[in-house]
């Protein structure tokens, strides 16, 4: 879905407004910018409503399997009404490459009126008169809502209400989020009931209790706990270049008394405890653990117009053994890793602002500081470690200096 939306963005086409007078019929329309009876209109939508639209569409899609729903994030959400499917199957923009794709999206319309609207938009200053092409619109207007739809509609309205109510409460724990209408529609009911519970009593009490207990506070965790929580899951949390070799112990289990209090028989709580654990893992993983440490280390960042690896190696080796150099030639900078911190410190003090071979150098600590302490005496270890720790591996090292091979002699 996103990729289709991207195609739209790339081709600078987003919003079209069609006005169609149709009821209980299938109809096929074609239009040609100027002389069709479809109006075009610009409409900007807020992020909030588009995300609401997305989630709404998702809930429909996952619940009503027979409907295919596509939503561009720029379609506004109208008051909840019967659902219709429109398939716009072909657009062409003069001056833009032809592209063919299928657009499927829901729209909502006011049943009391016979007119309804769909919004799409051209983002760039394209001349609207050059918008050509035809839009096939299949419309199916049920006179009444099906039972399923009514249930769904009510359910969604309720869910939204609950969600708002919850947001108002600013509950720090994100439990209502796992409603995930996208992935687990069957859990929606759970979440709803759970949300109800939260509002009535459970959540508030539990939050208060958590507030009492400093260890468990969620908003402002102590830094130590923060690290512990994320440390226990460090390996899973994606790229963690400079983590310590052995993460700290896992957080100690809560004291038994509290455990008992927390635990209430019944699946909701049980379920909750599983989910919240996951949530926490995810949340903690996104945080940068060591971001505010003082900048120091073995690696220095050198900037200067026209620096080369040779130049850096020549002018910096007097400060200590260089473990690794990685260049970003295009950006006129490079990173040097020394084997000792002192060497890095001295080189910054001595070299910053100096001019070597006509290149003025700015030297500072690199933002990323691989913390690599040799754990054995294999001599290549540190070089491998530095390379593994450096983020971009593309085109850092040796520029390929070979002649270009041409393959123009096609004898066969």
Partner 1 sequence: MFVSDDRSAKRRRLSGDAVEIEDRLESLIIRVGERSTASLESNLEGLSSVLENDLVKAKDKIQRILVDCASKMPERSSVYSTLVGLLNAKNYNFGGEFAESLVRCLKDSLKICEWDKARNCLRFLSDLVNCHVVSASSLMAVYDNFLDAALEQGVPQVRTDWLVYAVLTCLPWVGRELFEKRETELDRLLATVSSYLDRRSKKHVPALRVWSGDDPHPQEEHLDCLWAQISKLRADNWQEKHILRPYLAFDSILSEALQHKLPEIKAPPHHASNVYPQPRVVFRMFDYTDCPENGPILPGSHSIERYLIEEHLHHILEVHHNDRKECSAQLLNFPHKTKIPLDYMIVEVIFSELFQMPAPRYLEINYGCILIELCKLQPSTIPQVLAQATEIMFDRIDTMNVSAFQRFVGWFSYHLSNFHFRWQWSDWADCLALDPEHPKPKFVRETFEKCLRLSYHQRIQEMAGQEFAALVPVETKPRLRYREEGAGSLPGTMIAHQLMSAIKERCSPEEAIRLLKELHNPLKTADDDAEPTHNPLKIEVFTETLLFVGSKSFSHAFAAIAKFHYVFKVLAETEEAQICVLRSLYNVWRDHPQMMCVLVDKMLKTQIVECSAVANWIFSREMNADFLKSYVWEILNLTIRKMSQHVHKLTVEAAEARARLHHDSGDDSDSDDDRRDRPSDEQVERMEERLEQAQSDQKTLFLIIFQRFIMILSEHLVRSDTDGKDFRTHWWKWTFGRLQQIFMQHNEQVHKYSQTLETLLFTQDLDPHVLDAFHQFLALRD
Residues 196-255 that bind partner 1 (CB under 8 A): 232-233, 235-236, 238-247, 249-250, 253-254
State which of positions 165-184 bind partner 1 (CB under 8 A).
183
Nearer to partner 1, 94 or 290 (CB): 290
CA distances from 142 to 145, 177, 244 (A): 7, 33, 62
> Is the four-CA dihedral 269, 270, 271, 273 of positive or negative sign?
positive
| CA nearest to 180, candidates 67, 271, 87, 284 | 271
Which two tokens mark 315? 């002018």
What gap in Å lies between CA 134 and CA 14, rounded to an integer? 15
| Least separation in angstroms between CB 101 and partner 1 | 25
* Stretch 294-353 residues interacting with partner 1 (CB under 8 A): none
The full DSSP string for 134-159 is ---------SS--HHHHHHHHHHHHH
Q: In angstroms, what is the minimal distance from the CB of 235 to partner 1?
A: 4
SS3 content of the chain, % helix, strand, coil (to 5): 40, 15, 45
Given the complex with partner 1, which of 95 and 238 has the nearer CB atom?
238
Options 94-102, 103-111, 195-203, 371-379: segment touching partner 1 (CB under 8 A): 371-379
Per CB under 8 A, contacts with partner 1 among 250-289 are 250, 253-254, 259-260, 262-263, 265-267, 269-271, 273-274, 276-278, 280-281
Helices (H), 108-217: 147-169, 188-200, 202-212
Q: Minimum Å distance from CB 19 to partner 1?
A: 36
With CB under 8 A as the contact rule, the residue among 76, 206, 230, 382 that binds partner 1 is: 382
Pick the piece of the chain touching partner 1 (CB under 8 A) from 29-37, 46-54, 115-123, 374-382: 374-382
| Minimum separation from the CB atom of position 186 to partner 1 (A) | 5
Tokens of 387: 């390379």
HSE-up of residue 173 (Cα within 13 Å, Cβ side): 26
Measured between alpha carbons, how far is residue 154 from residues 81, 150, 159, 198 in Å? 11, 6, 8, 20
Tell me the closest approach of the beta carbon of residue 60 to partner 1, in angstroms.
Answer: 15
Query: Among 375, 392, 394, 404, which residue interacts with partner 1 (rule: CB under 8 A)?
Result: 375
78-81 contacts: CB < 8 A, separation 24 or more? 78/107, 78/108, 78/109, 78/110, 78/117, 79/108, 79/110, 80/108, 80/153, 80/156, 80/157, 81/108, 81/109, 81/110, 81/111
Identity of the residue, 115 or 388, whose beta carbon is nearer to partner 1 in the bound complex: 388
Joined together, the tokens standing for residue 231 give 């440390």
Of the pair 123, 371, the CB lying nearest partner 1 is at 371
Q: How far is the CB of 222 from partner 1 (least distance, A)?
A: 17
Of the candidate spans 103-111, 155-163, 355-363, 396-404, the one that interacts with partner 1 by CB under 8 A turns out to be: 396-404
Cα separation, 237 vs 231, in Å, equals 9
Tell the smallest beta-carbon distance from residue 348 to partner 1 (Å). Answer: 23
> Rounded distance, CA 151 to CA 319, Å?
74
Binding map of partner 1 across residues 53-92, x = CB under 8 A, - = no contact: ------------x---------------------------
The nearest distance, CB 267 to partner 1, in angstroms, is 4
Only one of the segments 2-10, 81-89, 291-299, 401-409 lies at the binding site for partner 1 (rule: CB under 8 A); that segment is: 401-409
Nearer to partner 1, 164 or 259 (CB): 259
Answer yes or no whether residue 372 interacts with partner 1 by CB under 8 A: yes
Place of tokens 């190696």: 313
Question: Pick from 388, 394, 395, 399: which binds partner 1 (CB under 8 A)?
Answer: 388
CB of 232 to partner 1, least distance (A): 8
Count the residues of the shown chain that bind partner 1, applying the rule CB under 8 A. Answer: 72
CA–CA separation, 322 vs 310, rounded Å?
12
Please calculate the CA angle 340-395-3 and round it to the nearest 5 degrees. 120
Q: For the CB of residue 381, give the shortest distance to partner 1 in the complex, in Å.
A: 4
């Amino acid at each position: 879905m996103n990729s289709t939306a991207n195609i739209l963005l790339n081709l600078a086409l987003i919003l079209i407004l069609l006005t169609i007078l149709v009821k209980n019929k299938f109809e096929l329309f074609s239009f040609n910018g100027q002389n069709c009876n479809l109006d075009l209109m610009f409409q900007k939508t807020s992020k909030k409503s588009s995300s609401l639209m997305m989630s709404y569409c998702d809930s429909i899609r996952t619940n009503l399997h027979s409907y295919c729903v596509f939503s561009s994030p720029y379609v506004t959400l109208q008051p909840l009404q019967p659902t219709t499917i429109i398939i716009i199957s072909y657009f062409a923009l003069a001056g833009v490459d032809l592209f063919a794709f299928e657009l499927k999206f829901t729209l909502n319309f006011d049943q009391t009126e016979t007119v309804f609207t769909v919004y799409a938009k051209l983002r760039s200053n394209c001349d609207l008169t050059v918008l050509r092409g035809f839009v096939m619109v299949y419309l199916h207007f049920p006179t009444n809502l099906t039972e399923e739809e009514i249930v769904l509609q009510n359910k969604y309205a309720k869910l939204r209400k609950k969600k708002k109510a919850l947001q108002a409460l600013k509950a720090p724990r994100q439990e209502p989020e796992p409603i995930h209408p996208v992935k687990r529609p069957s859990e929606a009911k759970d979440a709803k009931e759970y949300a109800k519970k939260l509002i009535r009593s459970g959540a508030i009490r539990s939050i208060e209790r958590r507030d009492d207990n400093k260890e468990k506070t969620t908003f402002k965790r102590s830094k130590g706990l923060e690290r512990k929580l994320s440390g226990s899951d460090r390996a899973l949390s994606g790229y963690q270049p400079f983590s310590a070799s052995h993460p700290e112990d896992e957080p100690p289990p809560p004291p038994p008394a509290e455990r008992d209090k927390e635990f209430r028989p019944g699946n909701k709580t049980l379920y909750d405890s599983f989910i919240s654990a996951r949530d926490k893992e995810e949340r903690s993983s996104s945080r940068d653990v060591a971001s505010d440490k003082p900048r120091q280390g073995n690696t220095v960042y050198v900037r200067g117009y026209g620096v080369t690896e040779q130049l850096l190696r020549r002018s910096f080796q007097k400060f200590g053994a260089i473990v690794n150099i990685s260049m970003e030639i295009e950006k006129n900078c490079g990173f040097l890793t020394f084997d000792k911190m002192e060497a890095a410190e001295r080189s910054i003090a001595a070299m910053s602002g100096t001019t070597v071979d006509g290149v003025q150098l700015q030297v500072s600590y690199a933002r990323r500081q691989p913390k690599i302490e040799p754990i054995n005496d294999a001599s290549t270890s540190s070089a491998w470690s530095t390379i593994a720790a450096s983020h971009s591996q593309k085109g850092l090292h040796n520029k390929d200096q070979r002649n270009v091979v041409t393959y123009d002699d096609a004898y066969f």
